[in-house]
């Protein structure tokens, strides 16, 4: 096939035809491949696509978000959800599902935490692999994203993640490695950001040396939407098909580069072959019947039930006794918060609120009160009404959480706090002496410093379209909660390891905390948290006994010591005290979700695997095992180790590298630039010249443009974002544009704008309006002419070469 394609045809395959399709080569039967978001549910847009969800999409089952399902620690469940996503995609003739997202939650403030699984790579990787297997079992490709080290929304398309190689491998890539090796995805999405100075999509180290050569990935890389930069560099590095629609300008650049000897034809052949292979893989899909949306709705509910985390249950107030008189309070009980905003947003097939669902349960609903305004404004009347209602009831079940604006693609949170007006409500209820059960709807951890005001906290995360029913099943005891946090819940933002460097507002984002992400930090530095990674209560209690360790794994007995059937998540951690290396005190290396009847015991086996003992030796450029007496820990959370054993391992004896004492203690606040540079192995890069804007600066930098009208444009954009915040609904397109670099104007205009025209635009904003305008106008006509000619070449399928 590759031999039959002309150079221009190969180049044309390396860019999308429109927002959601690759190009076809009709004469050779290479069919176009279609994409749709995403991991929470399918978002196939109807009509013209706009990629950020403003245009309506086909109804699809809205599952709990990945952050929610991660709390289930249930790989089979994740695979079932993946399969349902694949089936819905196949039914709508979508070839590639853009997900799952598995970036590491470096900070709980990250705007897309709700879309990602965990702060831990092992858990993320196992769940992502399960989603991928599920999706692809339907003949639809999965596209795990965003590869890699894509941790913040601020400047998300123009941010350079600076981190040491070992942290890169062990923390930020291991999840992808597991996903690729165990899920075998047919595609993978490169991220917007740069990694150590090179765009992820042009990063040969990531895309060729690691992804393909080391992990054996045999599929197609696709850029994130608008994430293309230098198409020739990308083709050379093993980068992705440029989406959404870079126009034929990109194709011409590739052809020219081949002609000029700047791009090896073998690289272009490889990239084109990957597109053709994907097209063949998805074409082999068998026709599927119509989707059974009822079954998928039930699955969505079950997934939510398995993922709800009970954080507090004072005096066993939960489950509620039958006929308890309930005051149902909170705007989120009436209008559910069940998914995040952005490209993952689903048009659900149905949606149930807590108010609608409560009728099916054996409680006495005394009344419903809104309690607070969603737009965060104080309202004493709503509070008084709620308190009065609660006063006539046995308990108040209060739905609180993050509003829509707090959890959206394109925007990081600035605080872990819930809105003040919700706190006013909780304080007023507590002052009245009301028994309060809080149900939190949020796709991430929130500050729960208000915990003394309530008797129970049910963290429902973002439970998808039937999440409200799942909450009632837990609250009334029909379901015994078994969700466990897939992230740590810190006592304060100041305690989080990436603070105060997150999010980075300049070009470089320094990962100064190294490997100490989440519990790896809290456990090593002995920083107390409110709820540790892996924590969650249930209506059962479990005892751990008889830990036995052999070379291949551990066996442990778990006993349900309660009167009710329930499930626990048994977690395996390992650590090497006295290690010569900078190393977290313990790291998750295995887990098993175990269901046991009341009083029953079971023997649980967790095997070690390739990831259990390894560390990345940067100087040898390979994985090694450090010799020593390892600790093997089994527990119910990262902070609740129940049994420990030791295992002597042979391996290497690394030298103790000097200058890393702060890292050894995980004393992150003491880390100086010099110590970070020692970890990095090189000096930190300097910030680029701020005075002159470049094509890969984000539009947010128009604030410092020389040309006054450009600064006015910035004021208008920033004003729109502020207004949207006041309205309480994020304007996704404005957020996207604000963080988008100039070059993306070309990459997303479907051929209307060429890179030469973008250079002109940048010239204008840098204070050369006439010169810039001349380039834009000349570029416009040249681009139009060249596009016409290129298209003719393609249509006539003649050999390219202008
Ligand atoms: C997001 C991706 C998404 C893509 C297509 C991008 O802005 O980062 O996660 O798949 O848009 O909608």
pLDDT tops 90 at residue 736? no
CA atoms within 13 A of residue 338's CA, in its CB half-sphere: 30
Q: What are phi and psi of 262, to 5 degrees?
A: -85, -15
At 279, list the tokens: 């097209």
- In sign, the C-alpha dihedral spanning 308, 402, 111, 668 is negative
CA of 43 to the centre of ligand 1 (A): 11
Which atom of ligand 1 is the closest one to the Cα of 143? 10
CA of 556 to the centre of ligand 1 (A): 43
Which atom of ligand 1 is the closest one to the Cα of 98? 10
Q: Does residue 146 have a cis peptide bond before it, meaning omega lies within 30 degrees of 0?
A: yes
Best of 34, 36, 37 for a ligand 1 pocket test (most atoms within 8 Å of beta carbon): 37
Which residue is listed with tokens 């959800």?
81
Residues 615-651 have pLDDT tens digits of 999 999 999 999 999 999 999 999 999 999 999 999 9
Q: How confident is the model at residue 800 (pLDDT cuts 50, 70, 90)?
A: very low
Q: How confident is the model at residue 796 (pLDDT cuts 50, 70, 90)?
A: confident
Cβ atoms of 196 and 163 closer than 8 Å: yes
For ligand 1, residues with CB inside 6 Å are 37-38, 51, 98, 145, 224-225, 343
CA atoms within 13 A of residue 203's CA, in its CB half-sphere: 25
Q: How confident is the model at residue 719 (pLDDT cuts 50, 70, 90)?
A: very high
Q: How far apart are CA 124 and CA 101, in angstroms?
A: 9
CB atoms within 10 A of CB 642: 18
- Long-range pairs for 711-718: beta carbons < 8 A, 24 or more residues apart: none
The whole model's pTM is what? 0.96
Which atom of ligand 1 is the closest one to the Cα of 101? 9
Residue minimizing CA distance to atom 9 of ligand 1: 343
* Average pLDDT rounded to a whole number, residues 436-452: 97
pLDDT tops 50 at residue 802? no
Residue minimizing CA distance to atom 8 of ligand 1: 224
Pairing of strands 21-22, 16-18: antiparallel
At 75, list the tokens: 């790989």
Mean pLDDT of the residues in the chain: 95
Phi-psi region of 760 (alpha: psi -120 to 50; beta: other; left: phi over 0): alpha
Pairing of strands 160-162, 508-510: parallel
Residue minimizing CA distance to atom 4 of ligand 1: 225
Cβ atoms of 496 and 85 closer than 8 Å: no
CA of 343 to the centre of ligand 1 (A): 5
Percent helix, strand, coil in the chain (nearest 5)? Answer: 35, 20, 45
pLDDT tops 70 at residue 143? yes
DSSP secondary structure, 41-79, as one string: S-B-BSSS--SSS-S-B-EE--PPPHHHHHTTT-HHHHH
Give the residue among 604, 463, 566 at the shortest CA–CA distance from 70: 463
- List of residues 6+ apart from 728 with CB closer than 8 A: 374, 375, 376, 403, 404, 405
* DSSP 8-state class, residue 535: -
Q: How far apart are CA 123 and CA 784, in angstroms?
A: 49
% residues pLDDT > 90 (the chain): 89
Residue minimizing CA distance to atom 6 of ligand 1: 225
CA atoms within 13 A of residue 586's CA, in its CB half-sphere: 23
Q: What are phi and psi of 801, to 5 degrees?
A: 115, 95
- List of residues 6+ apart from 148 with CB closer than 8 A: 103, 168, 172, 173, 176, 191, 195, 200, 206
Q: How far apart are CA 34 and CA 27, in angstroms?
A: 19
Residue minimizing CA distance to atom 11 of ligand 1: 225
CA of 729 to the centre of ligand 1 (A): 19
CA of 757 to the centre of ligand 1 (A): 25
Q: How confident is the model at residue 510 (pLDDT cuts 50, 70, 90)?
A: very high
Give the residue among 729, 728, 725, 745 at the shortest CA–CA distance from 737: 745
pLDDT tops 90 at residue 735? no
CA of 38 to the centre of ligand 1 (A): 8
Residue minimizing CA distance to atom 3 of ligand 1: 343
Q: What is the pLDDT of residue 405?
A: 83
Residues 662-709 have pLDDT tens digits of 999 999 999 999 999 999 999 999 988 878 999 989 999 999 999 999
Q: What is the pLDDT of residue 406?
A: 86
Q: How far apart are CA 456 and CA 289, in angstroms?
A: 44
CA atoms within 13 A of residue 405's CA, in its CB half-sphere: 18
Residues 307-346 have pLDDT tens digits of 999 999 999 999 999 999 999 999 999 999 999 988 899 9
Q: What are phi and psi of 248, to 5 degrees?
A: -80, -5
pLDDT tops 70 at residue 55? no
Q: How far apart are CA 43 and CA 37, in angstroms?
A: 5
CA dihedral 641, 645, 647, 652 (to 10 degrees): 40
Best of 151, 342, 345, 698 for a ligand 1 pocket test (most atoms within 8 Å of beta carbon): 342
DSSP secondary structure, 722-733, as one string: HHHHHHTS--HH
Best of 225, 736, 739 for a ligand 1 pocket test (most atoms within 8 Å of beta carbon): 225
Which atom of ligand 1 is the closest one to the Cα of 145? 9
Q: How far apart are CA 498 and CA 495, in angstroms?
A: 9
Q: Which residues participate in catalysis according to the annotation? A: 224
pLDDT tops 90 at residue 452? yes
Best of 146, 409, 734 for a ligand 1 pocket test (most atoms within 8 Å of beta carbon): 409
CA of 225 to the centre of ligand 1 (A): 6
Q: Does residue 503 have a cis peptide bond before it, meaning omega lies within 30 degrees of 0?
A: yes
Q: How far is CA 540 from CA 111, 278, 310, 567, 751, in A?
A: 34, 48, 12, 8, 60
pLDDT tops 70 at residue 221? yes
Which atom of ligand 1 is the closest one to the Cα of 156? 8
CA of 254 to the centre of ligand 1 (A): 25
Cβ atoms of 202 and 237 closer than 8 Å: yes
* CA 291 remoteness from chain centre: 27
Which atom of ligand 1 is the closest one to the Cα of 51? 12
Q: How far apart are CA 603 and CA 795, in angstroms?
A: 66
Give the residue among 185, 266, 265, 190 at the shortest CA–CA distance from 219: 185
CA atoms within 13 A of residue 663's CA, in its CB half-sphere: 28
Q: How far apart are CA 107 and CA 153, in angstroms?
A: 11
Give the residue among 178, 181, 78, 87 at the shortest CA–CA distance from 130: 78
Q: How confident is the model at residue 801 (pLDDT cuts 50, 70, 90)?
A: very low
- List of residues 6+ apart from 185 with CB closer than 8 A: 132, 136, 141, 142, 143, 144, 179, 217, 219
Give the residue among 445, 609, 606 at the shortest CA–CA distance from 532: 445
């Amino acid at each position: 096939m590759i031999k039959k394609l002309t150079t221009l045809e190969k180049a044309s395959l390396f860019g999308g035809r429109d927002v959601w399709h690759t190009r076809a080569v009709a004469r050779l039967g290479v069919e176009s491949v279609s994409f749709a978001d995403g991991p929470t549910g399918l978002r196939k847009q109807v009509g013209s696509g706009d990629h950020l969800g403003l245009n309506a999409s086909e109804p699809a089952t809205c599952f709990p978000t990945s952050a929610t399902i991660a709390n289930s620690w249930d790989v089979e469940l994740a695979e079932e959800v993946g399969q349902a996503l694949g089936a819905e995609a196949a039914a709508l003739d979508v070839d590639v599902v853009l997900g799952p997202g598995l970036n590491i939650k470096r900070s709980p403030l990250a705007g897309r935490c709700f879309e990602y699984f965990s702060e831990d790579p092992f858990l993320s990787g196992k769940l992502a692999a399960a989603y991928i297997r599920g999706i692809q079992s339907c003949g639809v490709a999965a596209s795990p994203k965003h590869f890699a080290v894509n941790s913040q929304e601020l400047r998300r398309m123009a941010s350079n993640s600076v981190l040491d190689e070992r942290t890169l491998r062990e923390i930020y890539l291991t999840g992808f490695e597991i996903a690729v090796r165990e899920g075998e995805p047919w595609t993978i999405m490169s991220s917007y950001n740069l990694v150590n100075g090179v765009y992820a999509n042009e990063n040969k180290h990531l895309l060729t040396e690691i992804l393909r050569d080391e992990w054996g990935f045999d599929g197609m890389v696709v850029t994130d939407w608008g994430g293309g930069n230098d198409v020739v560099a990308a083709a050379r590095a093993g980068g992705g098909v440029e989406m959404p629609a870079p126009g034929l300008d990109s194709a011409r650049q590739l052809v020219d580069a081949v002609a000029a000897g700047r791009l090896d034809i073998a690289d272009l052949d490889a990239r084109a072959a990957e597109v053709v292979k994907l097209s063949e893989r998805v074409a082999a899909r068998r026709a599927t019947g119509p989707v059974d949306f009822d079954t998928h709705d039930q699955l969505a509910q079950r997934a939510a039930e398995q993922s709800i985390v009970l954080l507090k249950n004072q005096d066993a107030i939960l489950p509620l006794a039958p006929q308890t008189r309930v005051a149902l309070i909170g705007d989120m009980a009436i209008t559910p918060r069940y998914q995040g905003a952005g490209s993952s947003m689903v048009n659900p097939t149905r949606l149930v609120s807590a108010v609608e669902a409560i009728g099916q349960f054996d409680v006495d609903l005394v009344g419903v009160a809104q309690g607070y305004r969603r737009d965060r404004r104080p309202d004493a009347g709503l509070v008084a009404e709620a308190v009065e209602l609660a006063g006539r009831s046995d308990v108040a079940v209060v739905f609180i959480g993050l509003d829509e604006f707090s959890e959206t693609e394109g925007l990081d949170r600035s605080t872990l706090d819930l809105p003040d007006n919700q706190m006013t409500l909780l304080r007023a209820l507590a002052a009245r002496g009301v028994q309060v059960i809080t149900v939190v709807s949020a796709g991430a951890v929130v500050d729960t410093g208000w915990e003394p005001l309530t008797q129970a906290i049910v963290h429902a995360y973002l439970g998808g379209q039937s999440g409200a029913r799942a909450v009632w099943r837990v609250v009334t005891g029909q379901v015994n909660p078994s969700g466990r946090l897939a992230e740590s819940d810190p006592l304060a933002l100041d305690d989080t390891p990436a603070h105060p460097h997150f999010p980075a507002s300049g070009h470089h984002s320094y990962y100064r905390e190294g490997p100490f992400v989440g519990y790896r930090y809290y456990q090593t530095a002995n920083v107390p948290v409110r709820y540790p990674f892996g924590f969650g209560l249930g209506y059962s209690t479990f005892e751990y006994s008889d830990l036995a360790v052999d070379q291949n794994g551990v066996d442990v007995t778990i006993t349900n010591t309660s009167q009710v059937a329930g499930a626990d998540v048994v977690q395996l951690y390992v650590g090497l005290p006295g290690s010569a290396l900078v190393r977290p005190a313990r790291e998750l290396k295995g887990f098993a979700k175990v269901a046991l009847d009341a009083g029953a015991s079971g023997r649980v086996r967790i095997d070690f695997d390739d990831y259990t003992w390894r560390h990345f030796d940067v100087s040898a450029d390979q994985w090694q095992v450090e010799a020593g007496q390892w600790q093997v820990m089994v527990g119910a959370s990262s902070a609740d180790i129940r049994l420990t054993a030791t295992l002597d391992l042979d391996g290497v004896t690394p030298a103790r590298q000097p200058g890393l004492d702060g890292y050894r203690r995980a004393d992150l606040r003491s880390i100086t630039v010099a110590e970070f540079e020692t970890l990095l192995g090189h000096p930190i890069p300097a910030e680029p010249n701020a005075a002159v804007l470049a094509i890969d600066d984000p539009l947010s930098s128009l604030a410092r443009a020389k040309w006054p009208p450009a600064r006015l444009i910035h004021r208008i954009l920033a004003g729109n974002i502020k207004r949207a915040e006041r309205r309480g609904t994020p304007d996704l397109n404005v957020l996207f544009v604000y963080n988008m670099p100039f070059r993306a104007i070309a990459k997303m205009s479907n051929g209307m704008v060429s890179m030469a025209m973008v250079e002109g635009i940048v010239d204008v904003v840098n204070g050369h309006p006439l010169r810039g305008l001349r380039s834009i106008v000349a570029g416009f006509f040249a681009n139009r002419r060249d596009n016409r000619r290129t298209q003719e070449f393609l249509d006539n399928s003649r050999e390219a070469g202008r």
